[in-house]
Homo-oligomer: A and B are copies of this chain.
Amino acid sequence: MTETTVVRDSACEISPVVDIVFSRWTTPILWALNNHGRQRFVELERRIGAITPKVLTQRLRQLERDGLITRTYHAEVPPRVEYEISALGRSLGPLFATLSRWATANLDHVEQARREYDEAGLPRP
């Protein structure tokens, strides 16, 4: 440890949360359920747009397992299933708010940075 040993970070303590909340499709799903209340399968499907039923099911199961959403089955014909954000899921509100604020404040800075980087025709190194 007196050498040039770099202490491997304690795996970046926020990585687990990122995996849970920001993996593929989970953000739009949580966003939809958070902002538009209880919804049926097809509603989500249509609202999100490009997702296929298979993948939507996978993600919904995962989010349900993680306790972020709830699933309610109504034994009718035709069957009706409703998804709703849970208390734990709602607790992500402030996080989404922070994210949203950062977006409106800085997204164009990112765009600008990209433009500059691109037109500066990379004199590497």
By a beta-carbon cutoff of 8 Å, the part of chain A in contact with chain B is: 6-9, 11-18, 20, 22, 27-28, 31-32, 35-36, 43, 46-49, 64-68, 73, 79, 81, 88, 91-92, 94-96, 98-100, 102-103, 105-107, 109-110, 112-114, 116-118, 125
Q: Is the CB of A18 within 8 A of B9?
A: no
A-B pairs with the 7 shortest C-beta distances? Answer: A67-B113, A6-B46, A22-B22, A12-B28, A73-B125, A12-B31, A65-B117
Q: What is the oligomeric copy number? A: 2
| Set of chain B residues within 8 Å of A109, measured between Cβ atoms | 67, 88
Contact of A14 among B7, B12, B36, B96 (CB under 8 A): B96
